[in-house]
Amino acid sequence: MRHNDPCVRPAPLATTHRSRCTLFHSVGVHDRLTQTDPLLSFEAFRLSGAAIPPHPHAGCAIAHFILPDAAGGLRSRMAQGSEAVARPGDLLWLDTHCGTVHQETPADSGAECRGLQFVVNYADDQREGAPQQRLVPGEQMPGWQSGGIELRLVCGQWLERHAPLVPHAGVTLLTLNWHSDDTLSLVLPPDMHWFALVLDGCCRVDGVLLAAGGSTTAATLPAGTWQVSGTSGSRLALLGGKPINEPVIYQGAFAVRDEAQLVDTLRRYQEGAMGMLG
């Protein structure tokens, strides 16, 4: 079946591969800020063996959802003293606000941590404030079954369901895990931008193939009703958020409104105002 408007189709998004250290690798959507507002990036990642060295962030929120079947978890330390460990199935949400320095490390020696990382922009008047991180255990997230498909609401709101964490900009993450070949209808609410990223296997959205390791792994989805099908073992992340519609400069560490704010943010980091980690 087609979308309820036959003129509407999924729009593929170009993806890129990244490595931040020898044992961190990801594939996802980067540098598409006007298309993905309020998301600055989203990517499937793998991390094993080594820590990602301490690095700064400011003006955005950084989320890590650890896949339930990942071999290991993720440890996150902040310069302000907070430390948290996200186990498989958990969500780790870091509100950087005015800035912090943090470090990510595999929580389990020799075990690969695998998950979804996404970065969310703030409206300019939300960038101030103290940084903090929150951990949402997987067992607290709403989950349900639709035929052969297991769904989990990691954050945000889906129809009448609410996750323990409902972030700013209405950001929502819904995961779909196929235990057998099946199809379901997804009704995407209006006034939000929606994106699909295949994590495992292959799925079809209105006949458009999204395949892990293939030429198309991500797409934008306009509001409306979509028919989503997948094969056994496939997994799909559905991300949504209300566009902020403000100018933003994002260079992987800092999200700011303009060059002047970027210079000020960089100065504060260099002067140690965001803290330090040894």
User: How many domains does the chain fold into?
Assistant: 1
Q: Are 69 and 259 in contact (CB under 8 A)?
A: no
pLDDT of residue 91: 99
How high is the mean pLDDT of the chain? Answer: 94
Residue 6 lies in a domain: no
The answer to whether residue 278 sits within a structural domain is: no
pLDDT in tens, 222-233: 999 999 999 999
Within a domain: 201: yes
Which domain range does residue 116 map to? 14-271
Closest CA to 98 of 136, 56, 137: 56
Q: Return the bridge partners of 25, or none.
A: 19, 46
Q: CA neighbours within 13 Å on the CB side: how many for 120?
A: 29
Please give the pLDDT value at position 20: 66
Please determine, for residue 50, whether its predicted confidence score (pLDDT) is greater than 80: no
**Residue 7 maps to a domain:** no
* CATH label of the domain that carries residue 234: 2.60.120.10
Query: Which pLDDT belongs to residue 25?
Result: 85
Within-domain flag for 2: no
SS3 159: coil
Determine, yes or no, domain membership for 5.
no
pLDDT value of position 5: 64
Q: Is residue 175 part of a domain?
A: yes
| Contact present, 161 and 142 (Cβ < 8 Å) | yes
pLDDT of 1 higher than 50: no
The span from the CA of 70 to the CA of 211, in Å, is 20
The string of pLDDT tens digits covering residues 129-188 is: 999 999 999 999 999 999 999 999 999 999 999 999 999 999 999 999 999 999 999 999
Predicted local distance difference test score (pLDDT) of residue 6: 62
Report CA torsion sign: 156, 158, 160, 163: negative
d(CA 263, CA 60): 16
**Percentage of the chain lying above the pLDDT 90 cut:** 88
In a domain, 165, yes or no: yes
Question: Cα–Cα distance between 15 and 7 in angstroms, integer?
Answer: 25
pLDDT level of residue 8 (50, 70, 90 thresholds): confident
